[in-house]
Each structure stands twice: as C-alpha cells, then as structure tokens.
Chain A
Amino acid sequence: MAYPTDRKYTKEHEWIQVNGNSGTVGITDYAQQSLGDIVFVETPKVGSELTAGKAFGTVESVKAVSDLYAPASGTVTEVNAELATSPENVNKDAHGSWMLKLSLKNPSELNSLLSAADYEKFVAEEAGH
C-alpha cells in the first residue's frame, strides 16, 4: 500500500490532510485492514474541541472497539455524515473516507507527525513484530 504523500500520519494510525488552516482527518489503510469489517463510526459534533493526542471518537469493527485520537488540536467544522450509514466505506477507501474536518488551533503541531515514508516504515515494523 502506498500512503499518500499529501498528508501526515500518527502512530495511532490516523491521517490528517492540511489545507490552509483546515485539517481533514481519517484512519489509514493499515488501520482499516487491522480492524477488519468496520460497522460503526462515532464522531464528535460540529463545534467540539479536539486536543492533539486525545481520543475524539470511536470506530468499531465486528470484533473490536477502537478509540480515534486527534492528530491535532482544533474545532470540528464538519463531519462525514455518510459514515453513519455506510461505515464500510472506510474499508473500501480508507484514505478517501475522511471522518471530520477541523479548524487547526496550532498548525505547528503537525511538525511532530510522521511523513508518508516514515509511517510506512513504522507499520512495516509493527506488522512484522
């Protein structure tokens, strides 16, 4: 799997794509593959405040419940309502199925996240352990 280079990644397997002051957040292909069939995505309401590194929502597969962690701090401006009825879209296209958009509080937080190449290395190690 090639990870898109137009975004940054967390070690908790979220991605964030920055456009000016706005960030779009989803989970990685590696994450959807590890989870298996995704049946439920719970995102916060528009207007909620996210803190970098803190849990902001939940994704559930048939088997497991997992927390979603915010790649950056900010205010939620939009959520992908489609995922409430079609959570399996995340399995089909994890890098295209965004979960929420937020207005970034401190864009410099992004500097500590992984590049596509570094993330790819990170998951290769995690998968190989």
Chain B
Amino acid sequence: MSSVEATPAGVTTNIRKTALNAVHRQTGAKMVEFNGWDMPVEYPASLGGGIIAEHMAVRTGVGIFDVSHMGDIRLAGPQALAAVQHISMNDASRLAVRQAQYSALLYPQGTFVDDVIVHRLGTDEYLLVINAGTREKDFSWVRDNTRQFECAVENLSDDFTQIAIQGPKGVNLLQKLTDADLSAVKFYWVTRGTLCGLRDILMGRTGYTAEDGFEIYVPADEATSARVWNEILTAGKEFGVVPCGLGARNTLRLEGKLPLYGHEISDTINVWEAGLDRFCKTEKPEFVGRAALEKSKAAGIRRTLVGLEMTGRGIARDGYKVLDTDDREIGYVTSGSPAPFLKKNIALAYVPPESAAIGSSVKVEIRGQGVGAVVVPTPFYKRPKKTA
C-alpha cells in the first residue's frame, strides 16, 4: 500500500505552526502539511475522532476546529468603507456595525485573489478573514490596492488563535463560556464579550461547515490558546463535542458547496463560472474586476461549476477528468469525496453549460475507466431550519 498524498521526499519547507500545535500533537492528532501549515487532519478514535465521526458530530451535535491558519486583515480609517468597496465584490455599504458578509477579492480580469468574510467591526473599521494559503499574497494585494484611501491596513494574522465551534449545539456550548447573549446574534453577525475570563473577545456566527456555529478570535499566545481550547472541550462534554481536523472541514464544506481556493475558485476562474453571482454586486459603481466581469457576462461563460453524484461504483477525486457519455473529455473535478452525512460519493466539477443541466448524465474518469455520474442540485446539503 502506498499513499498518493504523501509529502514528497526531500522537500524541506519552513512549516508553520499554530499556537495549538502542541495540543494537537499531545492528543495524538494525525498531522498533515496544508498550505505550509502543520495542521491536524483528524483526531484519534479514542477522542471520538476520525473524519466520518468528526463530520457527523458537526452535523448532529458540535465539533471544534483550530482554524488559526486563516489570516486576518484590518482596515480602519475615515475611508475604510471606500477601500473595502474598491477591493471586494460584495456590497460592504449594506453592512451594519457587527454584521459580516461573504465576499471576494478579484483581479482586474474578474478572477479570484481569494474569497473572504468581511466583518464590519465599527463605523470605520473592517476585518477581512482570508485563507491560509493566500495570506501574504492577500495582504500585499490589499495594501497595494488601497493606497489611495485614507485607511490603515494591518496584517493581524499572527495575533489571533481562531477556533470554530460548529454544529447545532455550538451555540449552547459557547454560551456556557461567555456573558455575551449569543441567542441575539444572527447568522453572519458578530458580537464581543468576555469568554473564558478573557475580555472583549470577538465572536462571529460564521463558519465553513454549512452548519450553525461560531468562530472566535482569542489572543495567539500558546498558554491562553490551550486553556481556551481545553475549556471548550470540557464545557462541550455534555453535548458530545469532538475536536475536528481539516479532513472533516473539507467534507463538511463540500456537502455545503462552499468553495475552496485553488479548487472551485482560483486566479484563472471568474465569478460567473464559480456561480458566486449572488455575492457579486455589479450595481456597485466600481470595484477591481467589475469591468472584466461585465464583459464576460455579455460574452457568456464556457464552463460552469456543477454538483455531481456518482451513480457508478467509484469516488471522484480532485483533478479527475469529467467525460460525456461518449467518453469525450468535457471538464474536471475540483473537489470530490465520499460525503459522510449524505452517504453518497459527490463532487464539484467544471463542465460546459450545455452539460450542466440538473439530471445530465456524465462520467468521471477513475483510473482509466469512465464511471457514471449525474448532475444534481447544489448545495448537496442544506441545514434544517431551526424549529426552536
């Protein structure tokens, strides 16, 4: 047996560690290199871990993730809104203080620098939460593209340990540890409060799991980070909390069709192709990428992102070819995996618009064989509306 995902021999990288690295290693988490970071991919079964168990914990109870590898950029000053409007595709002028939105930073050609969550923290203060693999690129890009505005741009990426508490019981768990009234915080809003004895901690009702939950930002020193992580696990015992790694994070986001940079979105894929139209406000007077996107909209797109469900026996994986029923190559899989909650083999793929209709039959080439798949509606998974 030999894994195709092993790190190439002889490759030495300056691998980065979050403040919780020692905690993960002590608990016996399986570690992998992800975008230059040494991160847990899954926790041991003795802690309730394993990708499938972790995934199910988030869908049915609560799971916690160390997502400190994510980066943070703060923009503050009298022209902070104008700066954010210029560099992002969603309409930040619609944000009330303490509200957040999904958005993206674009190149002039309408392709992705990165996708981001824009938080409005104050009247003239915004926080962009960005991806790990694009931290440095994003910060330089934001700084270079906001020079004309009266607005300070700060890279706060190393200041926070970011922990995601995700799942239907996430709110109950976190409420035990904070004086902030979390029931008053709607999805994609933030609050501040005392958490585990730490004052003025930012807590956002956001996440990357297609589930309810929170992301908290605590000081990045190792002792504080470890204390908060362990207090969350202790407080979560009654809810069956499970520590979760990047493996479950990926399968959870895939079921919810949440894009991953370098897969569904990249510097060669534009907003229309990725199907992120509803987060792109071309009615805004101006933003980087807008002109190219207007042209692209008029010209029409050559490929579009679809959801596939395997009908034949096999698992589509990232990069596999998509074939038509006559075995002609028509596209490729951006992310593919077994879906632990849905118990199906699913994938996201780029195909031409003429093959994108729901119900279209295609094939995925798996080890030289075309295996049947069908285009299905997305997201694959949508969380049930709360009844309480």
- Tell me, yes or no, whether A binds B: yes
Q: Does B302 contact A (CB under 8 A)?
A: no
Determine if B3 and A35 form an interchain contact, defined as CB atoms under 8 angstroms apart: yes
B-contacting residues, A1-46, CB 8 Å: 12-14, 27, 31, 34-37, 39-40
B176 beta carbon closer than 8 Å to chain A: no
Which residues, 42 to 65 on A, are CB-close (under 8 Å) to B? 58-65
Q: Which one of A66-74, A75-83, A103-111, A114-122 is at the B interface?
A: A66-74
Where chain B touches its partner, the secondary structure class is: mixed
Compute how far the CA of A13 lies from the CA of B6 in the bound complex, rounded to whole angstroms: 15
Least CB distance, A37 to chain B, in whole angstroms? 5
Q: Of A36, A40, A68, A84, which is within 8 A of B1 by CB?
A: A68
Contact of A69 among B1, B5, B313, B340 (CB under 8 A): B1
Number of B residues contacting the other chain (C-beta, 8 Å)? 22
Which residues B1-59 have CB closer than 8 A to chain A? Answer: 1-5, 30, 41-42, 50-52
Smallest CB–CB gap between B361 and chain A, Å?
22
Asked whether B41 lies within 8 Å of A12 as measured between CB atoms, the reply is no
Docked-complex contact A69 and B52, CB < 8 angstroms: no
**Contact between chains at A64 and B337 (CB < 8 Å):** no
Check B51 against A69 for contact (C-beta < 8 Å): no
Query: In the complex, how many residues of chain A place their beta carbon closer than 8 angstroms to a beta carbon of chain B?
Result: 24
For the complex, what is the distance from the CA of A59 to the CA of B315, rounded to whole Å?
11
Closest partner residue, chain A, to B5 (CB atom) = A64
With A62-B52, A63-B51 as known contacts, state yes or no: A34 contacts B247, CB within 8 Å.
no
Q: A36-B30, A62-B340 are in contact. Are A31 and B51 (CB under 8 A)?
A: no
Knowing A39-B338, A40-B315, say if A64 contacts B4 (CB, 8 Å).
yes
Query: Chain A residues near B50 (CB, 8 Å)?
Result: 36-37
Contact A27 B1 (CB under 8 A): yes
Partner of B337, one of A59, A62, A68: A62
> How many Å lie between the Cα of A34 and that of B6 in the bound state?
11
Contact of A36 among B51, B315, B317 (CB under 8 A): B51
Residues on B with C-beta less than 8 A from A40 are 314-315, 338
Q: Which residues of A contact B315 (CB under 8 A)?
A: 39-40, 60, 65
- A77-B314 Cα distance, complex, nearest whole Å: 24
Query: Which of B1, B30, B50, B313 gathers most chain A CB within 10 Å?
Result: B1
Question: Which A-chain residue is minimally distant from B251 (CB atoms)?
Answer: A62
Contacts of B52 in A (CB 8 A): 37, 62
How far does the alpha carbon of A105 sit from the alpha carbon of B250 in the complex, in Å?
Answer: 44
Q: In the complex, which residues of chain B have a beta carbon less than 8 angstroms from the beta carbon of A13?
A: 1
The minimal Cβ–Cβ distance linking A52 to chain B, given in whole angstroms, is 15
Q: List 13 A-B contacts (CB under 8 A).
A: A12-B2, A35-B3, A39-B338, A40-B314, A40-B315, A59-B1, A63-B41, A65-B3, A66-B3, A67-B2, A68-B1, A69-B1, A84-B313
Residue ranges of A at the interface with B (Cβ–Cβ < 8 Å) = 12-14, 27, 31, 34-37, 39-40, 58-69, 84
Given A14-B1, A62-B251, A69-B1: 8 more A-B contacts, CB < 8 Å: A39-B315, A39-B338, A60-B315, A61-B51, A63-B5, A63-B51, A64-B3, A68-B1
